[in-house]
Structure 1
Amino acid sequence: MKITEFMKSKKGASGIGTLIVFIAMVLVAAVAASVLINTSGYLQQKAATTGKESTEQVASGLQVISVLGKPSGSAIDRVAVLVSPNAGSGAIDLSQATFSITDGTNSYIQKYDSTAYASAAGADLFADAVYWTGLATTSTEFGIAVVQDNDGSVKAASPVLNKGDIVAITIVDGTTLDLSPRTEVSGKIQPEFGAPGVIAFTTPATYIDTNVIELQ
């Protein structure tokens, strides 16, 4: 009888040990599952954010609509580059953009001058003087003339381009660039992120009076 009782108690002790091990395994599995769920959630959010940023980086950028020039004597001394955002582009802050231009001999990199800002909405691209007044006058700065801005996002202090906006990037040549006839000119407007707007043209063989001409 005593032996039977002893065997029964031994089986009970073995069962308790197995139960403890089982509970420990369940707890470890629960902790591991919690870690995996949290990690997968974080990675999913990170992947979504990275994908969105990558899409904006690829889709964003500037497109050049046209390039206008205003001759003075035997050379062009003022240039306006009309730009707008690419289709699907995010907002672009032009105060953080750079404009590089070269005539094959001289090269300049320019930043935005907030004092060289004008609103030219509804103006004649080839005749109205608003494009050609109040512009930046140094080789290190460019101005902005607003052509189309329905939501008012392109301000002097923070010129932000978004869908549907069109502005003219304006520079005054003076004696910095050689824009005499038959000169090959190239450059780009590089936003803070996204694809740049590229310019490439050859100035005409001759200039007639001071009429504004389309270069690209």
Structure 2
Amino acid sequence: MEGFIKSKRGAMGIGTLIIFIAMVLVAAVAASVLINTSGFLQQKASSTGKQSTEQVASGINILEIDGEHNGTNINRTAIYITPNAGSAPIDLSQAVVMISDGEKRLVAKYDPNIYYDLSNGGSLFDTVNWSGLNSSKFGIVVIQDADGSCKQDTPVIDRGDIVAIVLNTTALNMGPRSTITGSVQPEFGAPAIISFTTPATYLSDMEVVRLQ
């Protein structure tokens, strides 16, 4: 009888040990899954935070908008822009310019054939080849670029850079007292808002007028 009881106790001990080992293995697997999941979530959160910060902090600021008229309509428009304070570098080849007179809307992308460097000075409206610029494209005129980041094929603007986006706006109604709206939308970050009303009259001795 004593031997029988001892053998039963031994059997119960082995079963308990098996259950204990199984619980340890399950806990180890669960811990491994939790560690891997937490690592993935941490990496994802870090990446999302970086992208969110870049999206919020970056953007384009409009310094001035000038237009050249022919007496009845503004056919040539220059939008002077610079990156926002703290903005990441912005590739203007991926930017989109949208501008509307309330009836028509122009959507323009960068044309690398219309690129000029006036960092040493010069007349913008006299320099640009406007006849080669259609309403679906915009050109770039470099005004200030100390580090040379805004090149013809890779027009990237960063801190301190000033460039002019030039548009052929012949297709729009930009006569006197016209309300014009639009935006310069970069690849990421806040867009620059275009909103102005053209002058009440166009003077022959003042062909270039400030619009915004």
- TM-score, length basis structure 2: 0.88
Judged with a 3 Å threshold, the aligned counterparts in structure 2 of structure 1 residues 21 and 104 are, in CA distance, closer, same or farther, namely closer
- Could you report, residue by residue, the CA deviation over 1:119-142 in whole angstroms, capped at 9, with x for unpaired residues? 111426xxx246742345211111
Matching residue's letter, 1:6 = F
CA shift digits 1:174-214 (9 cap, x unpaired): x4123332222222111222221111112222324254322
Structure 2 unaligned residues grouped into runs of 5+: none
Residues 99, 13 of structure 1: alpha-carbon distance in 2 compared, 3 angstrom cutoff: same
Alignment map for 1:158-177 (pairs within 5 Å): 158-173=154-169, 175-177=170-172
Structure 1 equivalent of residue 96 of structure 2 = 98
Cα distance in 1 for partners of 2:179, 2:102 equals: 7
Q: CA deviation at 1:166?
A: 1.6
Return 97-106 or 40-49, whichever deviates more.
97-106
Partner SS, residue 35 of structure 1: helix
Instruction: Provide the residue aligned with 1:81 in structure 2.
Output: 79
Q: CA RMSD in A?
A: 2.0
Identity %: 53
Match of 1:202 in 2: 197
Cα shift readout 1:136-157 (whole Å, capped 9, x = no counterpart): 5211111000112222221111
Once structures 1 and 2 are overlaid, which stretch shifts more, 42-51 or 191-200?
Answer: 191-200
CA distance in 2, matches of 1:129, 1:61: 24
Q: Is the 2:69–2:202 Cα contact (8 Å) retained in structure 1?
A: no
Match of 1:40 in 2: 38
Q: Which ranges of structure 1 fall in alignment gaps of 5 or more residues?
A: none
Alignment length, in residue pairs?
210
Q: TM-score, normalised by structure 1?
A: 0.87
- The structure-2 alpha-carbon separation of the partners of 1:6 and 1:192, relative to structure 1 and needing over 3 Å to count, comes to same
Match of 2:26 among 18, 21, 28: 28
Structure 2 counterpart of 1:55, which letter?
A: T
Select the residue among 129, 132, 141 that pairs with 1:145: 141
